[in-house]
Each structure stands twice: as structure tokens, then as C-alpha cells.
Amino acid sequence: MTSRPTTFVARLCASALLLALVAGCASGTHAHGAAAATAPPATTTAAAATTAAPASPVQDTTERITVAWAGGQATGDTGKVAVPLGATVEIVVTSDKADELHLHGYDLSARVPAGGTATLRFAATIAGVFELELHGADRELLRLQVG
Ligand SMILES: [Cu+2]
């Protein structure tokens, strides 16, 4: 009888640590948007200051999300807005005050001028739920659900 030594091949499986660090903003209090009342379609004819980030479209579907911020209230596509994974998303925000948009997770931001419009255009390649905020007003406009 020969005792055969067993060799352990220690395999270092790099555990896929998904860095889903949806880091919150500096502000700890994220006030939720006003009661999501079905708002009338915002007719905005502001000069479009488009700050679109060029994103490679994965599909040719474009999900257009429109939010208007006026008088401290968000109207339009507020609350939780679902888009399919891989879609091209275009978030158009108008505001009566100059502010800064921030989409968490994707970490996209854009300045919206007073009485103007900002557009975030990107490929929704990260699944999850992400807050879109107005940093100046410290308000959540919507939560984007991808996938
Ligand atoms: Cu933010």
C-alpha cells in the first residue's frame, strides 16, 4: 500500500466583487420627490443646452425620459422609471433654476441653466436602480431602473 500525497492546487478564484458602490452624495438627506402626481405634459420651449455624452448605442431603442423642475416641484417622468438593459436612454430635464444634474451609478452629471434644458444621453449598460438628483436643490427627480 502506497500512500499518495494529494496535491492541493490552491486556486485563487477572483471573486467577482461587483463594485456596486452607489455612493451617496455629500448630503445625507435625500428628500424624496413630491407626491408623484400625474403631471400634465410639460411644455418646455427653452433653449436646449444639450450636454450629451456620446455613448455607443447598444440597441437602437431610445428611451426618452422627461422631467421638469419648477417652483420646487418635479413633474413628468418622476418616481421609478424603468428602461431595458442596453437601451439608449435620454433624460431631458428642464429647470427654472440653474442647477446640476447627477445620475448615480453611471455618475453622469450636467449643468442645467436657469430656464433651460440639460440632456443626459447614455447606454444603459449597468443594471440596477439609480437616483437622478438635482444637487443644488438637493432633490431626487426620479429613480432609473435599468433591467
Ligand atoms: Cu448625486
Sorted by where each begins, the domain ranges of the chain are 4-52, 62-146
Q: How far apart are CA 48 and CA 45, in angstroms?
A: 8
Higher pLDDT, 93 or 22: 93
Alpha helices in 2-79 (DSSP H): none
**56-88: per-residue pLDDT in tens?**
544 467 999 999 999 999 999 999 999 999 999
- Ligand 1 geometric centre to CA of 136 (Å): 10
Burial-class residue 17 by CB neighbours within 10 Å (0-12, 13-18, 19+): exposed
- Ligand 1 geometric centre to CA of 134 (Å): 7
**109-146: per-residue pLDDT in tens?**
999 999 999 999 999 999 999 999 999 999 999 999 99
For 114, phi and psi rounded to 5 degrees?
A: -60, 125
Residue 5 pLDDT: 46
pTM of the model: 0.61
- Ligand 1 geometric centre to CA of 8 (Å): 48
Residues with CB under 5 A from ligand 1 (ion): 25, 102, 133
Domain spanning 62-146: CATH superfamily: Cupredoxins -  blue copper proteins (2.60.40.420)
Average pLDDT, the chain: 74
Radius of gyration of the chain from Cα atoms? 21
Residue 70 pLDDT: 97
